[in-house]
Structure 1
């Protein structure tokens, strides 16, 4: 029954998404395929953006973090609300720039704003790298679900390959519109699932109420509700939480696929309504963390101590087959929707900002084909990263945010400082990656700024170097302008 219900949910959603995408558009151009013809209204835009909150990172990752670490899972509350506040200011500006310039990708924006095709290519490659890491999250989670439903005899490698294949099939035909339809289905199912599990979790762990679950877990695991949580040696302190939440908030709208979602909106009003209402979704994390604590009270022991599988194992141990199937099917959609949008975005960037500058006469039809085929390669890299990986979904997610944060100064300077130029932005990106990736730099930050999220530190270095480089490269012109 579990397998049948899981397959039923996924297949019905995929068929409905493809039919919806074809009914609304044949997706014969990159513009229609990648940004939905720039006609998404408030409702469809809401579901697509919500798809970026209700992902496997949020549900399986945060519940698993609560199970393993406790209070550090509160990161979800702060980061979502901060991101929405920043989005109210930033997203309409991205939308306006995309509408005026006819942009499809984030790299289009960089190339046009800084008048440098080479910078668009550099930013595009950096964005693709961050996207592939983020796709790894979705493939990791989808692999877990496949092994839950098909059995552990399915190898990790086979599960990852199957997961990537399903994701590619999901988005290949109809593009962004198919993902929008599936996002709506996923959100409805997720609400039903979270409500159902939260209403029954107390009875499954011998508690009298939801509040009693929190009381009991505090009694059995003193300190779980305060920082640094259950594993002090992990370094997940209040300082880590504040800096990580700020880094996630600053990086949320910098992901290339979020740029394309902004371009897809039909109006500025649709974007701002979304930003005002979106923080409501952060309330759901109370119940997701509750489920993680419930799994801890139940003594759940996922295979290999896998943090990402804590919720799946809890439901598998304590609930009937139909509930397991509902969770597995819904969790598949949690991975498929954002994963497919991420691959779509990577393909769009590759064709427009890497291939076309080398072959300017490429037709729109050929560009669409290149976009679709390149997705297969990016999915293969994500599968390779998934095999043998042991990090939690939250840790992988923070690594992706750290990587994409290297583009954040360039975006904010574009809207805040007319003097900013391509050389300054590129210098900042180079310095930021050095600060993020070099072992010697990491040791330095650990000594100077203990407990700080390394992505935020690297972003700060990036911004500082970019500003200095802009000042140095425009000094003479600024003096001439003042005479």
Structure 2
């Protein structure tokens, strides 16, 4: 339902709106004129925010780092582990690029809003650019279809938020509560704790939304991408090889986290003067600007590799690998993942 509503709203918009405002040629002409005007906050043309030739490295490293970080998020892992079989994952992977195409369509609506002269006014009377697409729908579509589009936006936010909160609660229950607080916790209690933590995560997210300015949400998202990318060496390398020492991976992760956080803090938004103003910075001792997450990832991997060699030289023992090759080939008909019998379930509870 979420996907159908979102695609319906976006596809109708990219077909209907150009016919209303003179076609894409006229829309892009007005957007070009708008981008050529000077932004009083920065003293630069408004179009300066669009990557130019000097920003190509920043653009492709941001795309690469974001792609690498995508499946490192706990909610992505939760979705993968909840599938029935490998074929389910394959089918979804085929459809996944359509979401990127949809984001491209959504970006085009920003140019339409320039042509339409959309003024996204927030509840406090100030201009809030993040409301431009909903305001565009309200201004140009009948009220019934604008309602459909706004419902798509709401559901499109609620579904991922629910999955994220479930993933966060699973992480807490399995890795903190059961391991460090109550190792003998029953499955029933574990489920209750997980549900409670999931609710607390949702409430915490709501507090962030209501209590912080809109730019903070974007900056935290950018910072989260930098942070989560630092788990890539441990997770991905751990799936394919046991070459890295676990302590070296931990030190590499810490190095990437510290560098990424400090580098992101030093990025100042020229319009507001606030820290954490972006995720692009120059590589240390160079003038080449790239995505901070990628630079931190390279530092992370190098420290992990060097640390592994050093620990091996000092003959520091590592944990033995207890996985088997067959563990990677378990489908829904495998006896190891069959539903627990009712008698055993009752006994466990």
Pick the TM interval, shorter chain. Answer: 0.7 to 0.9
Q: 1:471 to 1:404 in 2, by over 3 A?
A: same
Whether the aligned pair in 1 keeps the contact of 2:30 and 2:114 (CA below 8 Å) is: no
Matched, 1:390 2:214: yes
Q: Work out which of the residue numbers 320, 340, 352 in structure 1 matches 2:142.
A: 320
Alignment match, 1:122: none
Q: Work out which of the residue numbers 327, 346, 369 in structure 1 matches 2:168.
A: 346
Aligned residue for 2:153, secondary structure, equals: helix
Gaps of 5+ in 2: 38-43, 268-281, 317-349
CA shift, 1:344, in A, is: 0.5
Structure 1: distance between partners of 2:264 and 2:152: 43
Structure 2: distance between partners of 1:305 and 1:241: 28
Alignment match, 1:333: 155
Structure 2: distance between partners of 1:260 and 1:277: 18
Q: 1:393 to 1:190 in 2, by over 3 A?
A: farther
Q: State the number of aligned residues.
A: 289
CA shift, 1:312, in A, is: 1.0
CA shift, 1:362, in A, is: 0.3
Alignment match, 2:32: 218
Structure 2: distance between partners of 1:471 and 1:457: 22
Q: Work out which of the residue numbers 302, 324, 327 in structure 2 matches 1:464.
A: 302
Aligned residue for 1:266, secondary structure, equals: coil
CA shift, 1:381, in A, is: 2.9
Deviations 1:223-252 (A, max 9, x none): 9xxxx9944268783222111111100000
Deviations 1:272-309 (A, max 9, x none): 23223322332223321221110111122223332321
Alignment match, 2:239: 415
Deviations 1:138-193 (A, max 9, x none): xxxxxxxxxxxxxxxxxxxxxxxxxxxxxxxxxxxxxxxxxxxxxxx011111111
Q: 1:290 to 1:200 in 2, by over 3 A?
A: same
Whether the aligned pair in 2 keeps the contact of 1:198 and 1:210 (CA below 8 Å) is: no
Structure 1: distance between partners of 2:141 and 2:285: 47
Matched, 1:373 2:187: no
Superposed CA RMSD: 2.9
Gaps of 5+ in 1: 1-184, 479-483
Matches within 5 A, 1:24-423: 185-204=1-20, 206-207=21-22, 209-222=23-36, 230-232=46-48, 237-303=55-121, 304-358=126-180, 359-386=182-209, 387-391=211-215, 395-423=219-247
CA shift, 1:441, in A, is: 8.6
Q: Which structure would you say has the larger Rg?
A: 2
Whether the aligned pair in 2 keeps the contact of 1:307 and 1:392 (CA below 8 Å) is: no
Whether the aligned pair in 2 keeps the contact of 1:402 and 1:455 (CA below 8 Å) is: yes
Aligned residue for 2:184, secondary structure, equals: coil
CA shift, 1:456, in A, is: 1.6
Structure 2: distance between partners of 1:328 and 1:322: 10
**TM-score, scaled relative to structure 1:** 0.55
CA shift, 1:394, in A, is: 5.2
Q: Counting helix residues as a fraction of each chain, which structure ranks higher?
A: 1
Whether the aligned pair in 2 keeps the contact of 1:260 and 1:345 (CA below 8 Å) is: yes
Q: 1:196 to 1:396 in 2, by over 3 A?
A: farther
Structure 2: distance between partners of 1:428 and 1:390: 33
Q: 1:456 to 1:439 in 2, by over 3 A?
A: closer
Whether the aligned pair in 2 keeps the contact of 1:248 and 1:398 (CA below 8 Å) is: no
Whether the aligned pair in 1 keeps the contact of 2:75 and 2:163 (CA below 8 Å) is: yes
Structure 1: distance between partners of 2:109 and 2:216: 17
Deviations 1:311-337 (A, max 9, x none): 011112222211221111111100110
